[in-house]
Amino acid sequence: MLIQNWFKIQVTKNTSMKILKISILFIITTLSLFSCKKLEETRFVYDGPAQIEFDATALNAITSPRTYPILTRVPGYGRGVIATSVAATGVVADPLLTRTSGTVKFRVNLITAQQTSPQVINYRVVATEKDASGADVVVTTAVAGTHYNTTGSFTIPANSSFGEVTVEILNPGATSGTRDLVIEILGNATIKPSVNYSKLGLRISQI
């Protein structure tokens, strides 16, 4: 009788453990499926009009009172400017923008599906902007042919999401202070500039 009771207790314990394990597995599976479903529901897919943006404008803070960054360094693509080197981690600061920088490039991102044909994108140097009172303010103090050269257009290759604005920084000799250059991407007939990320400023040291 004692052996039978002991056996019944063991069977009951084993059954309870199996039920508990199955219940835990069910809960974990349910939570996993729910999490995957939520990720699918919140995944962002851009389906608006074709746009372009300056990579560096989207990833760096604006420089007040302007509505876009004015860079003093040339950033890597897909990240903000690194201003300080950290020897312990191997982080290296981005190069300063100076009169000796030579040719520098700034990535432009295509915000839509890749195109099957090359896209020629236009841009311009912004000479002046309106301030809060409506008055014209000079924003580009660099002089074409003296402090820089640039073409006014670039190409996003077919089946690509990126293009580059190229600026040749010229060396007129050491002076003092800085020269600013503000560039605005204009797009083309089918690809329009992003409202918030179409301008980029460069502050070029003349020391």
pTM of the entire predicted model: 0.78
Question: How confident is the model at residue 124, as a pLDDT?
Answer: 98
What is 51-205's CATH superfamily?
CalX-beta domain (2.60.40.2030)
DSSP bridge partners of 185: 123
- In 3-state terms the chain splits into helix, strand, coil percentages (rounded to 5) of 20, 30, 45
The tokens for 111 are 């915000």
User: Which residues in the chain come in under a pLDDT of 70?
Assistant: 1-47
User: Tens of pLDDT along 140-183?
Assistant: 999 999 999 999 999 999 999 999 999 999 999 999 999 999 99
Class of residue 97 by CB neighbours under 10 A (exposed 0-12, middle 13-18, buried 19+) = buried
Residues ≥6 apart with Cβ < 8 Å to 63: 69, 70, 201
Question: How confident is the model at residue 28, as a pLDDT?
Answer: 59
Question: How confident is the model at residue 57, as a pLDDT?
Answer: 98
Question: How confident is the model at residue 11, as a pLDDT?
Answer: 46
Q: Where are the domains of the chain?
A: 1-43, 51-205
Residue of 147, 189, 182 whose CA lies nearest to 66: 182
